[in-house]
Amino acid sequence: MTALRIATRGSALALAQARWVAARIETQLAKSTELLPIKTSGDRLQGISLAEFGGKGLFVKEIEEAVLEGRADLAVHSAKDLPAALAAGLAIVAWPQREEPRDALVARERGTRLETLRPGARLGTGSVRRGAQLRALRPDLEIVPLRGNVTTRLQKLEAEGLDGVVLACAGLLRLGLADRIDERISTEVVLPAVAQGTLAVEARADSALGRSLAALSDAHAERSALAERAFLTRLQGDCNVPLAAFAEAIPGGLLRLRGLLSSPDGRTIVRGEAHGADAVATGEATAQQILARGGDQLLAQLRREAAR
């Protein structure tokens, strides 16, 4: 039996995620698998602002090309790395069960929480979304830009004299590093990235393989991802835009989606919230609220600044 070839980034986290999906394919679909690690443009541009070179799409472009060219049968992505638009001819065919969606504080002094960080503490993050919300929460903090994989960022905690770093809980959990988490930051304090903690399985659109891979989907993960990505698409979000969204189930079979759009310094934050049964409509309604509350002007300003 020919093994299904799974395209993935080559970092320890990406490989752990791909192996997790591979195990479910082998168990649920009784198909053998093999991994095809690919070094993406985003991986090669270490130490450089991704926003200047194409944003999140740099982490998926070469992986999508491998599927389109037939070198791989499917791809596994961190869903938060996906741009709003996928490559033509491809589709997300499965959204497996979501891991912990919150952000994590990893502190140099164990047991420290955001609220107990010393005044003027140096906090590292590679995310404009996190940086904006952290500045709004604690204007006294010095936010230090970070690039690199999870291990590299943890090493910089000591090497660069940081008081803490903020990462996705999901990545730490998938790497067996749960004990490094000092605080799982409430979504009421820092709203997560779109689809944070969710994996996306991508294959050729309308393919027999894609239809069989749909068995890997978790209904709530899929619904939440569709809502959050509809929010992203409506706002045409990219790496230059500090936005966040989080969907959760509420009674009555409804979704509650909270979203925000911020200036990078955190001084202007526009929030929206919608409840609904239809995931995409709920995401779009939340985005429309933000646009109507001044988000359209903020987006225009962010894009003018990015174009300079």
Confidence at residue 49, expressed as pLDDT on a 0 to 100 scale: 47
Give the domain range for residue 132.
Answer: 103-185
Give the CA angle between residues 227, 232, 234 to the nearest 5°.
95
146 shares a domain with 116: yes
Read off the tokens for 75: 């791809």
136 shares a domain with 156: yes
Query: Under a CB-based contact definition with an 8 Å cutoff, are residues 235 and 295 in contact?
Result: yes
Q: Residue 81 catalytic?
A: yes
Domain total in the chain? 3
**Amino acid identity at 25:** I
Using DSSP, state whether 201 is helix, strand or coil: strand
Of the candidates 43, 73, 81, 296, the residue annotated as catalytic is 81
Residue 119 lies in a domain: yes
What pTM was computed for the model?
0.92
Residue 125 sits in a domain whose CATH number is 3.40.190.10
Digit-coded pLDDT (tens) for 16-30: 999 999 999 999 999
Residue 27 lies in a domain: yes
Digit-coded pLDDT (tens) for 183-242: 999 999 999 999 999 999 999 998 999 999 999 999 999 999 999 999 999 998 877 789
Query: Under a CB-based contact definition with an 8 Å cutoff, are residues 134 and 164 in contact?
Result: no
72 shares a domain with 112: no
Average pLDDT of 41-54? 53
